[in-house]
Amino acid sequence: MMRDNDVKKRIQQLREDINRHNQSYYQYDAPQIPDADYDALMRELQALEAENPSLISEDSPTQRVGSAPLDSFQQVQHDVPMLSLDNAFDDDEFEAFDKRVRDRVALANKVEYLVEPKLDGLAISLLYTDGIFVRAATRGDGKTGENVTENVKTISAIPLRLKGDNLPKTIEVRGEVFMPLSGFERLNRDAVRLSEKPFANPRNAAAGSLRQLDSKVTAKRPLAFYAYGIGVLEAFQMPKTQHDLFELLAGWGIPICDQVSVATGVEACHQAYQRLAEKRAMLPYEIDGVVYKVNDLALQQSIGFVSRAPRWAIARKFPAQERMTEVMGIDVQVGRTGAITPVARLVPVFVGGVTVTNVTLHNEGELRRKDVRVGDTVIVRRAGDVIPEIVSVVLEKRKSNAPIFDMPTECPVCGSAIERIEGEAVARCPAGLFCQAQVKESIKHFASRKAMDVDGLGDKIVEQLVAEGLVKTPADLYGLKQQQLCALDRMAEKSASNLIAALEKSKTTTLAKFLYALGIREVGEVTANSLANHFGQLEALQQATTESLEKVPDVGPIVAQHVVSFFELAHNREVVSSLQNLGVHWPDVSCVSESDQALAGKVFVLTGTLSVMGRIEAKEALQSLGAKVTGSVSKKTDYVVAGEEAGSKLKKAESLGVTVLSEEDFIELIGEQQGALQSV
């Protein structure tokens, strides 16, 4: 229990911290902490003020929105305050909100809500008079914003004249200016090319673009806009619902998000949240949650407002994608190809739906660029299934004696002198399979699902097999005996028997998978498949020159040299020969030239859920016919295969006029092409 004096001090400290972060976020578009950490500060302050109402002051951050406007822009007074939203962070908090809504208006029935994505951009007000755009202003502190009219005029998505005849005398449209992900990536690529500082995220990029003193700079930035409501409205009858209002705005030519829906009752709202959470990674823009608004506009008025937020709306946040934590140490790991990789060990932090304890720093150049040191407070980001990364160091929290990390000059596993090849970012241990770390990683890769697919051969078992000296090359796996496996930790007789059976089953494979399993540098699945299809037989590939290899699709001079170098090493040829002698085999692959392959040169994209043929099986079928399977849709895409719940890729394909195949169409196409190939 805090003493009264301690409570006052903590409240004052929280207010100072939040005001400082508000200034960094809203005025300078340079946030110092992730949203989740800011939310935690605000919630602590709200809780302390709720417990001690006598300490609430009008200048508390809980009583206002955002931060004061910049002096460099003309100020605009909002006739109707631009409010913020309260947050819900789990099902219980949303259900408590729903109960407050129903209790406030004594409603026994389920509430109908409009559900829309919570865009991560900058709130903006657009004023139209007689259908003509006259002014744009930022939210500012909710009462006073910045006049950014000339900059907003450069955003092509925002109409300068509303469509139609039935227009209000005056309408103030409110919405979010944001930067689509494709535009953000392009902007940062250009910044790096010009040796300029890249933006931290799309929100910062959008806000920074909108606050340029020179509108010509804003005009070059890829900004977009979606409306989410209105402020002032004169000489016009309001529609009955929020959804009707959106349709009205859309009819006037104002952009509305295409992910908006209506849900009745708590359970339907939870389902809508889950649907958007699943779509999140596929959307062409960033969202950080879902906004629920009571759909009935008359009911909204009855429910009312508090000082900084409406009582009839709430934002349900997704799990934080960025969090702060501390670097406990920096280790160096040795990869399958000898790559020396610095890895930061972190105080465990829950971010992006998982607990993160380690983050790769990729190479020495990346380590130096971000200047990560032991003891640093860092911002960690994990979005969707993306590998976690350290976004930046919070320099204001760095200890004065934090030492710069020195990369080792010798392999930490085998002691070999580390090589740094000119032109390569990655330093390497040159010892190959004489380095135990590289042996372990090679075995793990060989047994992985996309390679030889040895079910039950997990990392811990591989580490024990290598440590005990039972396995030194992939070929040694096929000589293992059941009693040897039973002697390992956590390996019972049944598990050992299952692993022996899995190894036996894995002997039947394909040439493409076998080549991928060998772990040749820069030979991934697609390249392995191209090599198998082009050469047809392993012997032909082993004798190939760099010139003949460069004729293979997806193979350039660097990859060609890696392939030649791999098969030039006697040790590698011995391992390959041993694997074949131990029974690893594959069906003969006819040496098919690219022009003879049924789908040669065609580019496919798979999206949505394929119920009959899984993604991996579909990809392999396409590759076996010479097709290229990519992850994104462009003008070069020939076909998009759309399964159930296909998202943004399907929409982009339709907008570009790319041929879209249903799963049934796709299966029919594959069958026809395979049949045609067999008849040749």
Q: pLDDT category, 678, cuts 50, 70, 90?
A: very low
- Do 84 and 53 lie in a common domain? no
The answer to whether residues 309 and 334 belong to one domain is no
Residue 564 belongs to a domain: yes
Identify whether 440 is part of a domain: no
20 and 143 share one domain: no
Measure the CA–CA gap between 615 and 642, rounded to whole angstroms: 11
583 and 599 in one domain? Answer: no
Residue-wise pLDDT tens digits, 579-593: 999 999 998 765 444
- The span from the CA of 208 to the CA of 55, in Å, is 36
Three-state SS for 329-361 is EEEEEECCCCEEEEEEEEEEEEECCEEEEEEEC
How much is the pLDDT for 43? Answer: 85
**Does residue 480 lie in a domain region?**
no
Q: What CATH code is carried by the domain that includes residue 354? A: 2.40.50.140
**In CATH, what number is assigned to the domain containing residue 675?**
3.40.50.10190
- Does the active-site annotation cover 8? no
Give which of 408, 417, 275 is closest to 342, Cα–Cα: 408
Among candidate residues 566, 591, 616, the one where a domain is terminated: 591
Q: How far is CA 284 from CA 33, 178, 181, 650, in A?
A: 25, 11, 6, 12
Mean pLDDT over each residue of the chain, to the nearest integer? 87
In this structure, are strands 313-317 and 287-294 parallel, antiparallel, or unpaired? antiparallel
Q: 492 lies in a domain? A: no
- Cα–chain center distance at 467: 37
Query: Do 287 and 331 belong together in one domain?
Result: no
Residue 176 lies inside a defined structural domain of this protein: yes
Local structure of 325: helix, strand or coil: strand
Please report which confidence band the pLDDT of residue 385 belongs to, taking 50, 70 and 90 as the band edges: low
- Residue 479 covered by a domain: no
Flag whether pLDDT at 53 surpasses 60.
yes
If asked whether residues 526 and 580 sit together in one domain, one would say yes
| Number of domains comprising the chain | 5
Last residue of a domain, one of 21, 40, 63: 63
Q: What is the CATH number of the domain that holds 18?
A: 1.10.287.610
pLDDT beyond 80 at 617: no
Alpha helices in 536-662 (DSSP H): 538-542, 546-549, 557-568, 570-581, 615-624, 648-656
Are 266 and 130 in a shared domain?
yes
Q: Say whether both 91 and 58 belong to one domain.
A: no
* For residue 470, pLDDT beyond 80: yes
Rg, Å, the chain Cα set: 30
311: pLDDT strictly greater than 80 = yes
The model carries a pTM of: 0.54
Q: Give me the domain span that covers residue 333.
A: 322-397
In this structure, of 175-179, 535-539, 553-557, the range with the lowest mean pLDDT score is 553-557
Same domain? 351 vs 370: yes
Q: Which residues, 6+ apart, have CB-to-CB distance to 187 below 8 Å?
A: 179, 198, 199, 205, 221, 222
Query: Residue 521's pLDDT is what?
Result: 86
From the candidates 8, 9, 110, 118, which is the catalytic residue? 118
Q: CA distances (Å), 448 to each of 338, 443, 514, in order?
A: 18, 9, 11
The 3-state DSSP class for residue 175 equals strand
CATH number assigned to the domain comprising residue 119: 3.30.470.30
Report the distance separating Cα 499 and Cα 471, nearest Å.
15
Query: Residue 427 falls within a domain, yes or no?
Result: no
Check whether residue 87 and residue 229 sit in a common domain: yes
Reported confidence tier of residue 429, pLDDT bands at 50, 70, 90: confident
User: What does the pLDDT average to over 495-523?
Assistant: 92
- In this prediction, residue 679 carries a pLDDT of 46
What token pair was written down for 376? Answer: 């640093």
**pLDDT at position 383, please?**
64
Final residue belonging to a domain, choices 63, 88, 105: 63
Question: Do 523 and 633 reside in the same domain of the chain?
Answer: no
Tell me if 245 is assigned to some domain.
yes
Same domain, yes or no, for 312 and 329? no
pLDDT at site 1: 57
What is the pLDDT at residue 592?
Answer: 46
pLDDT band at 377 (very low <50, low <70, confident <90, very high): very high
Are the CB atoms for 626 and 597 separated by under 8 Å? yes
Q: DSSP per residue over 237-302, as a string?
A: ---SBHHHHHHHHHHTT----TT-EEEESHHHHHHHHHHHHHHGGGSSS-EEEEEEEESBHHHHHH
